[in-house]
Structure 1
Amino acid sequence: MKEWIQARKVRKKKIVAEVKKDRIQLKEEKAAIKTLPQAEQEAAKQALKQKQKAKKIEYKEQLQITDKAQKKQLKKEHRLYKKIKNRPRRGIIWSVIVLAILTIVVKVGPTVKDMTETMSGKGIELAEDSKASSQARSDGEKVSEKIADEGIVLLKNEQQSLPLADKKVNVFGVSSFGFRYGGGGSGGSDTSRAISLYDGLEEAGLAYNKDLYDFYMERPEVKDTTGKSDTGLMAIAKMMVSKEDGDEPEIDYLTKDIVKQATDYSQNAVIVLASAGVESSDMDQSQLKLTENKKALIKQVAENFENVTIVINSGNTLELGYLEEFPTIRSIVWVGTPGPYGTRSLGNVLAGKINPSGRLTDTYAYQIDSAPASENFGSYKYDNLDKHFVNYQEGIYIGYRFYETFYEQNEAGYEKAVQFPYGYGLSYTNFDWKLVDTKMNEKTISLDVEVTNIGESAGKDVLQLYFSAPYTKNGIEKSAIELGAYGKTKLLKPNEKEIVTLTFSTNDMASYDMNDKEAYVLEEGTYKIKLGKNVHDITETVEYHNPKEIVIKEDAQTGTQIQNQFEKNANEQTYLSRNDWEKTYPSDDNLNYTAPTFVLDEVNKQRTDSKMTMPKFEQENGIKLEDLKDLSYDDPKWDDFLAQFSVEELMDFYTQGAYKTNAVERLGVPATVLLDGPAGINFFFKPVKAAAYPTEIVIASTWNDQLAYEWGQSVGKEARAMGVHGWYAPAMNIHRTAQGGRNFEYFSEDPLLSGKMAASVTKGSQDQGVIVFIKHFAMNDQETNARSGLYVWANEQAMRELHLKPFEIAVKEGGTYGAMSSFSFLNGQWAGANSTLLNDVLRKEWGFEGIVSSDAVFGFMHADDAVVSGNDLMLDIMSKTANKKRLKQAYKKDQSGIANGLKTSAHNALYAILQTYIFEK
C-alpha cells in the first residue's frame, strides 16, 4: 500500500484506540459514581462534566500555541476523533424505536388511525393456508435450497481437507447456535422452519460432538433460535440490540478437559464466524473485524486440532487476514446468509455430497478501510440545513475497480491488499478450459469455451469474461478491468464436456464522457478481452481492435438522446482519478458542511401555477379497466378511461398506497396487495407464512441467471396463490463499502452482475403475472441518516456506469413494470420527487412503462411534490391523511399541474396492474 495511504490508516488506528480507551474510562468512572452514596453522586457527576470540559479547553489552548502545520494536523485528528466517537451505535432498544415512531406520529398530525390501519394490515387479506399456497411454499423451499447449494463459496481447501474424510466433527463457538439465515427488516423472511446448523450436519451424515454441544447449551450466552422468526420492526430492534453482532465470550471457559475430550473425539473442528446486517443501521468497521474474543477462540482451536474449517456466515465482507496465521486452518467456506435451509447445504458441502460452485460477489480486502469509499461513509450534517450528506468521491473506483486499477503492475502490493479477489471460488474438482471459437466485430464480442471436468467428482464451473479498455492519461476515467459477461456450466461428471458461450455488446465497453461529449464513447484502440477464473486470475486474453472512435449519443432501445442529467450532483467535488491517485484520494478532513445555494433554493421553492391544459374529470364514457387489456400504454382510449375519475378518487388512490392499492369498483379497478421482500414474501408489521430464500448476496454468488429466474418464478407462483399482486424486490443497490447495513439484501459490488440477476428475477416473477418493484432507485447504499433525507453527491459517470446501471439492465432486459424510489436526494431533489431521475432517465431514456412507488414515507417526502415528478404511489405508513391534505392545498395553488400529475400517475399504476394475473384471460 502506498505510504501516504498507510500513514492515514496508522493515524486512524491510533485514534480508534484512543476513542475505545476513553469510552472504557468514561464507563468505569460512571460505574464508580453509581457506587457512591446518593448524596455524593451529584457532585461526582458535576466533577466528571468539568473534567470533560477541561479537555475541550486544553485542546483550544493547544491550538493557540502551535504553528500552522501542527494546528492543521491537530484539527484533522480532532475531527476524526469526534467522527469515530459519534458513529451511530446499534445499541438502540425496542422501546426507543417505538417512542421514535410515536414522536413522528404526533409531529405529522392526525395519523394514529393511518398507522393503526397499516400495521393491522387492513385491506391485506392473504390466503396463506390454502392448498395452492401450501404447494407453492413447498415448491419454493426446494428452490431456496437449490440456491443455497450453489451459492456456497469455497475460499480455501489445502491438502484436500474437504470433503471431510472423518465424518466426525467438533463445532466451537456460540455463533453456531445463532446461525444467521438472513438479515433484518423488509429483507427478512419467515425462518420459522429453519434447520439448525447441528441438524444440517446430521442430515448430511456428519456426526457432531454431542458432549461439546451439551456443554455449549449450558453456557449463558447460548440461546437456540431455531424455530423462532421475527420480521420487520421487531427483527430490526432485536438485531440492533444484539451484543456486538454475536461476539464470543472470553475463552477461559474452554478448559483443558473440554479441549481434550474434543480432540479425543475428532481432529476436525468447525468455527462459525457470524455477522448480520439489518435495515436502518450500518455496520461499524469494528464489527467487520475479528474481535479479540473471536481471535482467542480461533487460536485455541487452531493450536489443538489438525483440520480446522472456518465458516463465514455473514452478508458483509469481513477482515480475515488473521486466519492465515494458522496452518491448521485448512479450509474456509463462505455461506453468506443462506436462508433457512443453508445449514443443510453447508452440511452437504462439508460431507462432499455437494460440490461448491459459488463465487464471491465482492472483493475481500485485508483491511476494510483500504477501499477509498470508506473514507466518506458515515454521518455528515450540514450547518445551514437540517439534513445530512455523503460524498461519493471515489467516483467509479468501487470494489475491484479500485484494487485492480490502483495495483495494476504492482502484484506485490495487490497481494498485500486483497485476500480473495472478486469472482473468486474453488471446487472439489478441476476443470480444463479450451477456447474453441472467437467472434468479434463492431457489434458483438463472443467467445465459445469448451469446459471439461478433468477431476474425480461432478461439479459446476463459472466462467467470467472481462475487458480492459485502452486508457489515455487525463482522458475518461476507466477501470483497468470490468466484467463483460459470465456463464455457468451444468453439472459436469468426470470427463464430461460442455461448450459455454460468453457474449456481450461491443458498445458495452464504452465509457461515459461527462465532460466533452455527454455520451458513451468507445475510443479507438485495442481492447483486451480476458477470460478469467476471477477478476485477477486471467487464463486467456484475446484482442479486439476498434479502428475509430464511436460516440453513442442515442439510447439503443428508445432512440432518446443521451446527455448529462446530473451535472449538479457532482457538486464541484474532486473525484478519485488514476491520473493522480494521491492528490485525488478521498478524504473527509476538509469537507464543505455548507449546503449549496441551489439546494437551499430547492428547499424554499414555492409552488406556482403550471398553466398546463386542464384534463377532464367525471366523464361518463362507459369504459372499464379490463377494456384496456392488451392496448399499448399510448393508446388514445386511456384518455377516455382516465377522464371518468374524479379528483377525489385519484387523490385517495395516490395517497392510500401502503402495501396495497385501493379499488374503484365503478370503473373496474381492483384492489391489489403489494408486499416485501427480497428474501421471500413478508409484511413489515406482522409475520407471513411464506417460503423463505437466501438473501440476494447468496443468490448472486451462484452466478446462475437461470436459478435467479427460478427464484422470481417461485415467488411469483406463491404470490398468486396468496393473493399478492406486487413484490417489493429485487433490491439492487451497489455494495459501495463493506459497512452497508443492507449489503446482504443487495447483489454485488458490480453493476453488471447485479443487473443481470435482477433482470432474471424480474422475468421470473412477471411471467407469473406479479409486478416486481426494483429498488431502491437510486443510490441508497448506506442506512445511516437515509430516513431523514440524505443528500448523495456523485458525478455523472459514476452514477451512469455503476449506480444506475443495474436498474437500467433490469428495465431493458427484465422488462419490469415496477420500481421503488429511494430516500436519497440527487441533484438536490428527493428521488421520489425527481423528474430528471424518474421521467427523463427511467421513462424517456430507458423506456420504462409502469408504476413507481415511494419507499416508506417519512417527513421530507411529500405527495404533492412526488405526484408531479413521476412517482405514482406513496407507500405511506403514517401520514396518509397529512399527505392528502397537502395534495388538496397544492391543488388550490396549481390545479392544472396537480391534476395532470394525478392523471399520469393513475395511468402508470393502472397500466402496471393490467399486466398482473388479475386480468389474465
Structure 2
Amino acid sequence: MLQSYHRVCIEKKLKSKKAGGVILLEYFKKRKAWKQEISEQVKKDRAKRKERKQEISVLPEAEKKAAMNSDKLLRKEQKQQRKEELKSLSRKERKARKKEIKMYKKIKNRPRRIAGWSAAAILLLIVGVTLGPTALSAVENMTGKHINIDTTSAEAVKAREAADAISEEIANEGIVLLKNENNSLPLADKKLNIFGSNAFSFKYGGGGSGGADQTRAVPLFDALESAGIQYNQELYDYYASLPELEGAAGEADAGFVQVVKGMLGGAETAGEPDVSDAALAQAKEYSENAMIIIQSDSVEASDVSSDQLKLSEEMHALIEKVAETFSNVTIVVNAGNTLELGVVEEFPSIQSVLWVGTPGPFGTVSLAKVLSGELNPSGRITDTYVYDVGSAPASENFGDYRYENLDKAYLNYEEGIYVGYRFYETYYQGNEEGYKETVQFPFGSGLSYTTFDWNITEQQLNNESIQLQVEVTNTGEVTGKDVVQVYYSAPYTQGGIEKSAINLASFSKTQLLEPGETEVVTINFDTRDMASYDMKNENYILESGTYQIKLGKNVHEIDSTLDFELADDIVYETDADTGTEYKNRFTESENELTVLSRNDWEGTYPSDEDDSKIASDKVIERVQGHEFHDDVEMPVTGAENGLKLEDLKELDHDDPKWDEFLDQLTVDQMIEYVTEGAYHTGAIDELGIPNTVLMDGPAGFNFFFKKFEAGAYPSEIVIASTWNHELAYEMGEVVGKEAKAYGIHGWYAPALNIHRSAQGGRNFEYMSEDPVLNGMIGANLSKGSEDQGVIVFMKHFIMNEQETNARSGMLVWSNEQAMRELHLRPFEITVKEAGVTGAMSSFSYIDGKWANPALLNGMLREEWGFEGVVSSDAVFGFMEPQKAITSGNDLMLDILSVPNNQKQLEEAYANHPEAITAGLRNSMHNSLFATLQTYLFD
C-alpha cells in the first residue's frame, strides 16, 4: 500500500481514473524491477562473501588472521570511499543513492516476518488454529476477564491526581538544554514560529508495554499558549491545512496491535512536507524566533536502522530553509533514541537545542515553561550523542543474524565492555581532536540558565569507601538545580583486564537553589565498586596503582580530580552481601567471539562479516537439551496440615514452616497456578491463597488488550535524565499507591536493560547506556513501589536490547566480564538496594539457554540473595514451561496457550515426576513468598 505522501504526489498528476490506474501500475512495475535488481545484487554479494569465507577457512591460523584483518581494512576503506562518493553527488542523485543503500540494507538484513498481515488477521489466525479450550482460554486472557481493577473510586481519582503531579515534575526535571548560544533561551520575544509536521504529532511516550494512558496529554499549542508563548496562528493554519497532516494528531496504535505491527516491520513514515516561500515570508515578518521538532520512530517489537536516526532529506531541507531565514532557531529532540544532530552545527542561526525525550502527558507544558523562562532546565542526557551512530562498535553486530543449521537467530556482543561513552572516552583518550570530530554531546551533558561553582569541602578516600562532600553554589542570577557527577578512572595494564578509561561511580542532584545560595551534597560509594571482573581468576580485583576520582559536569568535562593510591592489589573472592564465592557462570557455550580490546582496537573491532553461521554441536545440544535432575527426593503433595498462607507472614523464605504449607499443594493446583500467570495469579481459596493482579508498564499502568484510565509518566529515559534519586523514589511510591487504589499487586517494571545501540526499539523504555545510572534510578523506583507493598518485576533479565528476532528466541553471546559489569549490574544494584521481590526474565537465550538456571538460580538467587518470583515475558513457542519451572522461572506470562502449557507440564511430570514436582514446588514457594510481602497481608 502506498504511503500518504506517495498518494498525494500521484493524485496531483491524475486527471482521470483511467490515467490514475496507468500511472499507479507503472509505479509498481518500476519499483518491483528496482527491488529485484537490488535483491540480485544482495545474492551475488552473499555468494562472494561465502566463497571468501571458505577460502579463508582452509588457511593456516596465522594466514587466516592476516587475511581476516586485511579484509576488514578493505571493507573500512570501501565504506569511507562510499561516503566520499555520496558527498560528490548532487542532492537529487544523493537522495536516490541513499534510497538504494537503504533498500540494499533492508533486503540484506530482512528479518523473517509474516508479511502483509494485519494485527487482526494474526489474532484471528492464532485463536483459529488453537481450537477448543485453548482458544477459549486465549479469548478470556485477552479480554481481561480475570482482571478486576477499580479505577473509578474517589481513592483512584486522588491517586491519578498525585500521578499527574509527579509526572509533570519528572518532565520538568528531565528536560535537557544541550545548546544555548548567546543565551537565546529563554525567549526574550515571546512570539514563536513553529515549523514542521511533528508539532502536530508530538510524542508523549512509547508503545507496547512501555506505553501509557495519554488521554490527559496537553497539546503542544495549548501548552505554549498557557506559558505566554504566542505562536504564529497563520503558520499553524498553513500546516493544519496540508493533506499530509491529515489525522496526524489522531490516536496512534497501542498495546497488542502496535506490537504485532512492529513484529511485521512497522510502517514507513510520511515525508516532511515542504514549506512555501509565502509562508516563510509571513513567518519572518511575525518573529525571528523559529522552532522545529525532530523525532524517531522506534517502538516495542521494531528496531530502527541507522538511516532512520539521521535526518530525512525533507527534514534537513526544512531546517536549512528555516535556518537561512531566521536568526534564532531552536531544535527540539522529541525522541527516545539518540539521533544524529550534526545539522545544529551547520547553521549559526541554530542557537539552541532542547532534548525532551518522550516526556509524558505534561511534557509539552515543561517545554513551554523552559522556552518562556518560567522553568530552568536541569536534566542531563543519558547517552552519548555522536555525529555518526554507526561509529559505535555495537552497531556492527545489530540486526538479523541466523544460524544455517539451527532454527534460531543469534547476536554477538563483540563490543564487550565498550558500550557508549566507555568506548569513545577510551578509544579517543589522548586524541582530543578525534574525540571532538566524533562526539557532539558527551554522556551526562546538560546546561542551565544559571551557573554553579563546586568546592570539595571534605574527602575520605580509603580501601573501604570513597566519600566526598561538595559545596554547590548558584553563582548566577536564576534559580536552578545542579547535578554533581562523580566518575573514576582505574589503572590499566597493557594487555591486562579490560577497563574503560572512565566510569560513572555515583551522582547527586541539588535542591532548588536561589542565586547565591549554597548546598553541600554528600556522595559516597564503596571502593570495591571500582573493581574489575577477572575472568581468568574468577574474581573481582582492584589492581594496585592510582585511582582518579573525578567530579564532572559530564563524562568528558572534568571539574576536579582526586588521586587515590592503592599500594597492593585487593582481590574480592566472595559477594559482599551473601558471601557466595564468585565463579564464571556463563562459559559453557564454546561460542568463539572476538571481543573488542583496547590492547588491539583494529584487530578486535567487531564485524558481522566474520561471523560463523554454523552452530556447533554443543550449542545445538544446549539449546535443545535440558537437565531435569531426577535424583531429587519426591516432595509431599496434598497433605492436610491445616495451614493458610497468612500463617507464614513475617517468616523468612527458608523457614521450615514453609515446607509444611507447601506439602498441602497438589500437582494439579501447582500446574494451573504457574501456567496461568499472565497479568494475574489465581486464587486457591482453601489454602488462603488470594488472586493477584499484575500489570504493565514502566510509564504507567496499562493492559495490552483493554484500555483503562491510569496515571501516565514520562518514559524511563526521561526519568533517568532527571538524575534525581529522590524523584525516582517518589514516582515508585506514587505508582504503589495508585496500584493499591486500583487493586493491583504487581508492577511489570522498571526496565533496566542498557542502551547497547542507538537502534534499539525499546530505548525509550530503558534508561541509559550506563549500568550504574540505570541501577540507581531503577533501585529507587523499585523501592518506592515495594515500600507500598507492591511487587516490582524488574525486567528484562537479561540482555534484551534488540527487538529484531527477540520473540523467536535469540541466542545472545557475550563474555562474562561484559555481562557482569554492564548487563547484570543494574539488576544487581536494584536487588541489593531495593530488596525487590519480583523479576521478569527476557526472551533471550543466555549462554545457549532460555531460562538459564545459572542466571536465575545461580546469579540472581544464590550470588545476589534475591528472594521472590520470576515471571517469563510474554510466552512464545520456544518458551517451554517444564524447562522454566526447573530452571528458576516461576510464572508463565501466557495469554494464548495456557492449556498447551499445562499439557506439556503433565507430560513432563509423567516422565520426570520428582523433578517436575520439585520445580513446581519451588515456583509456588517463590511466588507465594512475594505475594505475602504485598499489601494484601497488611
Q: How does the TM-score come out when normalised to structure 2?
A: 0.90
* Structure 1 CA distance for aligned equivalents of residues 117 and 884 of structure 2: 32
* Structure 1 CA distance for aligned equivalents of residues 22 and 925 of structure 2: 67
CA shift, 1:592, in A, is 0.4
Secondary structure of the 1:853 match is strand
- 2:908 paired with 1:905: no
Deviations 1:204-235 (A, max 9, x none): 11111111111111011224665846531234
The residue number in structure 1 matching 2:121 is 99
- 2:576 paired with 1:565: no
The answer to whether the 8 A contact 2:628-2:915 is kept is: no
* Structure 2 CA distance for aligned equivalents of residues 557 and 196 of structure 1: 49
The residue number in structure 2 matching 1:359 is 380
* Structure 2 CA distance for aligned equivalents of residues 429 and 50 of structure 1: 57
* Structure 1 CA distance for aligned equivalents of residues 250 and 49 of structure 2: 58
Q: How many residues align?
A: 883
* Structure 1 CA distance for aligned equivalents of residues 689 and 107 of structure 2: 54
The answer to whether the 8 A contact 1:363-1:399 is kept is: yes
The answer to whether the 8 A contact 1:602-1:829 is kept is: yes
The answer to whether the 8 A contact 2:796-2:840 is kept is: yes
The residue number in structure 2 matching 1:8 is none
Residues 529-544 of structure 1 mapped to structure 2, 5 A cutoff: 529-544=549-564
CA shift, 1:85, in A, is 2.6
AA aligned to 1:593 is: K
CA shift, 1:589, in A, is 1.0
The residue number in structure 2 matching 1:436 is 457
* Structure 2 CA distance for aligned equivalents of residues 778 and 835 of structure 1: 13
* Structure 1 CA distance for aligned equivalents of residues 342 and 727 of structure 2: 32
- 2:706 paired with 1:686: yes
1:219–1:672 Cα change, 3 Å: same
Identify which range, 105-114 or 90-99, moves more after superposition. Answer: 90-99
Residues 236-251 of structure 1 mapped to structure 2, 5 A cutoff: 236=259, 244-245=268-269, 247-249=271-273, 251=274
The residue number in structure 1 matching 2:444 is 423
* Structure 2 CA distance for aligned equivalents of residues 48 and 507 of structure 1: 56
Secondary structure of the 1:526 match is strand
The answer to whether the 8 A contact 1:181-1:340 is kept is: yes
The answer to whether the 8 A contact 1:762-1:816 is kept is: yes
1:34–1:577 Cα change, 3 Å: farther
Deviations 1:589-634 (A, max 9, x none): 1210011222211244366661211111111111100111111111
The residue number in structure 2 matching 1:175 is 198
- 2:168 paired with 1:148: no
Deviations 1:632-665 (A, max 9, x none): 1111111111111111000000101110000000
* Structure 1 CA distance for aligned equivalents of residues 721 and 683 of structure 2: 40
CA shift, 1:333, in A, is 0.2
Deviations 1:384-434 (A, max 9, x none): 001000000000000000000000000000000000000000000000111
AA aligned to 1:207 is: Q
Identify which range, 630-639 or 852-861, moves more after superposition. Answer: 630-639
The residue number in structure 1 matching 2:801 is 781
CA shift, 1:62, in A, is 13
Secondary structure of the 1:854 match is strand
Equivalent of 2:810 in 790, 808, 821 = 790
* Structure 2 CA distance for aligned equivalents of residues 246 and 457 of structure 1: 41
CA shift, 1:572, in A, is 2.1
The residue number in structure 2 matching 1:835 is 853
Secondary structure of the 1:745 match is coil
AA aligned to 1:417 is: T
1:803–1:33 Cα change, 3 Å: farther
1:45–1:789 Cα change, 3 Å: closer
CA shift, 1:277, in A, is 2.2
Residues 193-592 of structure 1 mapped to structure 2, 5 A cutoff: 193-223=216-246, 228=251, 230-236=253-259, 244-245=268-269, 247-249=271-273, 251=274, 254-515=275-536, 517-568=537-588, 571-592=591-612
* Structure 1 CA distance for aligned equivalents of residues 512 and 34 of structure 2: 71
The answer to whether the 8 A contact 1:88-1:784 is kept is: no
* Structure 1 CA distance for aligned equivalents of residues 641 and 51 of structure 2: 79
* Structure 1 CA distance for aligned equivalents of residues 470 and 858 of structure 2: 40
Deviations 1:739-758 (A, max 9, x none): 00000000110000000011
CA shift, 1:192, in A, is 0.9
Specify every segment of 5 or more residues in structure 1 that has no aligned partner in the other structure, as ranges.
Answer: 1-30
CA shift, 1:245, in A, is 4.4
* Structure 2 CA distance for aligned equivalents of residues 216 and 332 of structure 1: 23
The answer to whether the 8 A contact 1:433-1:451 is kept is: yes
* Structure 2 CA distance for aligned equivalents of residues 287 and 876 of structure 1: 33
The residue number in structure 1 matching 2:830 is 810
The answer to whether the 8 A contact 1:755-1:805 is kept is: yes
The answer to whether the 8 A contact 1:303-1:328 is kept is: yes
* Structure 2 CA distance for aligned equivalents of residues 164 and 468 of structure 1: 40
* Structure 2 CA distance for aligned equivalents of residues 308 and 836 of structure 1: 54
Residues 858-873 of structure 1 mapped to structure 2, 5 A cutoff: 858-873=876-891
AA aligned to 1:358 is: G
1:161–1:54 Cα change, 3 Å: closer
The residue number in structure 2 matching 1:600 is 620
1:628–1:246 Cα change, 3 Å: farther
CA shift, 1:827, in A, is 1.4
* Structure 2 CA distance for aligned equivalents of residues 262 and 369 of structure 1: 37
RMSD of Structure 2 on Structure 1 (CA)? 3.0
The residue number in structure 2 matching 1:614 is 634
* Structure 1 CA distance for aligned equivalents of residues 884 and 345 of structure 2: 52
The residue number in structure 1 matching 2:644 is 624
* Structure 2 CA distance for aligned equivalents of residues 322 and 582 of structure 1: 30
AA aligned to 1:128 is: T
The residue number in structure 2 matching 1:696 is 716
Secondary structure of the 2:836 match is coil
The residue number in structure 2 matching 1:112 is 135
Secondary structure of the 2:210 match is coil
AA aligned to 2:461 is: M
AA aligned to 2:413 is: Y
* Structure 2 CA distance for aligned equivalents of residues 135 and 87 of structure 1: 49
* Structure 1 CA distance for aligned equivalents of residues 679 and 46 of structure 2: 52
AA aligned to 1:455 is: G
CA shift, 1:912, in A, is 0.2
Equivalent of 2:180 in 138, 149, 157 = 157
The answer to whether the 8 A contact 1:195-1:226 is kept is: no
The residue number in structure 2 matching 1:886 is 904
1:45–1:827 Cα change, 3 Å: closer
The answer to whether the 8 A contact 1:190-1:231 is kept is: no
AA aligned to 2:107 is: K
The residue number in structure 2 matching 1:13 is none
Residues 43-82 of structure 1 mapped to structure 2, 5 A cutoff: none
1:91–1:658 Cα change, 3 Å: closer
CA shift, 1:356, in A, is 0.2
* Structure 2 CA distance for aligned equivalents of residues 742 and 797 of structure 1: 24
Specify every segment of 5 or more residues in structure 2 that has no aligned partner in the other structure, as ranges.
Answer: 1-17, 57-66, 80-100
Residues 702-717 of structure 1 mapped to structure 2, 5 A cutoff: 702-717=722-737
- 2:897 paired with 1:875: no
The answer to whether the 8 A contact 1:154-1:425 is kept is: yes
Secondary structure of the 1:626 match is helix
Identify which range, 603-612 or 622-631, moves more after superposition. Answer: 603-612
* Structure 1 CA distance for aligned equivalents of residues 182 and 866 of structure 2: 52
* Structure 1 CA distance for aligned equivalents of residues 860 and 918 of structure 2: 19
CA shift, 1:502, in A, is 1.2
The residue number in structure 2 matching 1:15 is none
CA shift, 1:255, in A, is 2.1
* Structure 1 CA distance for aligned equivalents of residues 485 and 837 of structure 2: 30
Secondary structure of the 2:243 match is coil
* Structure 1 CA distance for aligned equivalents of residues 372 and 899 of structure 2: 58
Q: How does the TM-score come out when normalised to structure 1?
A: 0.91
Identify which range, 806-815 or 87-96, moves more after superposition. Answer: 87-96
1:218–1:783 Cα change, 3 Å: same
1:355–1:584 Cα change, 3 Å: same
1:167–1:389 Cα change, 3 Å: same
Secondary structure of the 2:245 match is coil
